[in-house]
Every structure is written in structure tokens, then in C-alpha cells.
Amino acid sequence: MASARPDHRALAEALEHRVLDGPGETDPSLRRNVAARASGGTLMEAPSDDLARQISESACRVTDAQMASVLAAAGSEKAAFEIVAAAATSAGLLRWRQGIKVLEEADNAPA
């Protein structure tokens, strides 16, 4: 067990920066668009749009066909994986930011 409390904010930021902005087989602008879509943002090109929305709303309903379409469009398994990772990370970090925001509001509120 570690001797200091984890710096969750720094770890969350490092994850976001690496997955959305770091080097990969896909362009970071594509990953940023996927992330925005998975956080309820605007439409993007198919088939990434469909998969990003599905991962955000109900990942357990992702189908083989949805993944196959993204794989065909992305051109490699690593590129398809990056799109999945970007969508999932975005949905999780949306919850991280929202959770921390309301906690800070509660903690800063007058007693």
C-alpha cells in the first residue's frame, strides 16, 4: 500500500492527455471528436459517430457489426482500439469532472 494519497486529478489529466492528444495511429483530432461525441457532443462522421454514441449510452449493446464498421474505416485494429479507448475515457472523465465539481461545491458551501 502506498504511503501518500493518490493525486487523482493529476492521474486523470495524464490519462486524458495521453489518450486524446498523444501520439497514436489515429489523428488526435479524430480522438477529440470521438471524445466530444461520447460526452453528448455534436455529430461526427459515421461509423465512429455510431460507436462513440453507443459506448457512451449503453456499451453493453455494442454489436459485432458496429465494431467491424469502425475497424474497416479505421484501417487497423490499433486505430479501432484508439477510438474505443477515446470514447470510453471521455464517458468516464465526464463523470469524474461532474463528481468533483459537485463535491467542491458542497465542500465550499457555507455550513
Our finding on whether 18 is near other proteins (CB under 8 A) is yes
- C-beta of 6 vs 42, nearer to other proteins: 6
In the range 64-103, which residues lie near other proteins by CB under 8 A? 64, 67-68, 71, 77-78, 80-82, 84-85, 87-89, 91-96, 98-100, 102-103
Q: How far is CA 40 from CA 1, 19, 37, 56, 83, in A?
A: 37, 18, 5, 8, 16
Residues 44 and 37: their CA atoms lie apart, in Å, by: 7
Which residues sit at the interface with other proteins, rule CB under 8 A?
A: 1-8, 11-12, 14-15, 18-19, 22-24, 51, 54-56, 58-60, 62, 64, 67-68, 71, 77-78, 80-82, 84-85, 87-89, 91-96, 98-100, 102-103, 105-107, 109
